[in-house]
Amino acid sequence: MDTVRPAARERLLDTAGELFYRDGIRAVGIDTIVDRSGVARMTLYRHFASKDDLIAAYLERADERYWRWFEAAVGPPDAPLHGRIRGLFAALGDVLAATGHRGCPFLNAAAEFPDVAHSAHRIAAGNKRELRERLRAVLQEAGARAPDTLAGQLVVLMNGAYASGAALGTAEPAVEAAEAAVQLVEANLPKAESFR
């Protein structure tokens, strides 16, 4: 059976994404991406005017995929809050347990590109701001007190789990972060809505 080879742009993004995540964005050169993808250098530059454009496209695609993952992890709006929070951290644990996990691609990009004007940093920071906003909306819908503050705390827990999971090579930080998240959320819900 014939298989259709992905279009050149997708092959470039697939290859760059794998290498950028595994080895670090700055460590990967255009020559390596061209060699690994099987796409001619001229074709690469037809799709991406510079390495910075390729980096931005990689992070934008990662961002789109992240929101699909997030929506699946938190479940539908009518689900109980405890299930949504536990589901999010369980999905995070699956990410941390995956072979080749190197932390959050957005935190990694922000660390590699500390200049806030760089497109990589802007996209990474935008992902984290959107995460906080989406969590705030989930918490507000459930009637949590101080949903913005609580959302910020949950983002810190998630980011800490990403970093600890990458450093330790284990999914255990997600389990610990989930327990802390449950305690934080429970403390900010009306007593009748407690989910322990």
Q: How far apart are CA 85 and CA 137, in angstroms?
A: 13
Domain membership of residue 39 (yes or no) is: yes
Instruction: Print the domain residue range for 142.
Output: 59-190
Do 24 and 116 fall into the same domain? no
CA distance 88 to 177: 11
pLDDT tens-place values along the chain, 196 residues long: 444 456 999 999 999 999 999 999 999 999 999 999 999 999 999 999 999 999 999 999 999 999 999 999 999 999 989 889 999 999 999 999 998 999 999 999 999 999 999 999 999 999 999 999 999 999 999 999 999 999 999 999 999 999 999 999 999 999 999 999 999 999 998 765 555 4
Report the number of distinct structural domains present in the chain.
2
Task: Provide DSSP, 142-179.
Answer: TT-SSHHHHHHHHHHHHHHHHHHHHHHTSSHHHHHHHH
Give the residue among 17, 91, 93 at the shortest CA–CA distance from 55. 17
Task: Tell me whether residue 36 is in a domain.
Answer: yes
Phi, psi of 97 (to 5 degrees): -80, -15
Nearest Cα to 35, choosing from 58, 51, 16?
16
Q: Do residues 117 and 182 share a domain?
A: yes
Distance between CA 181 and CA 61 in Å, rounded?
28
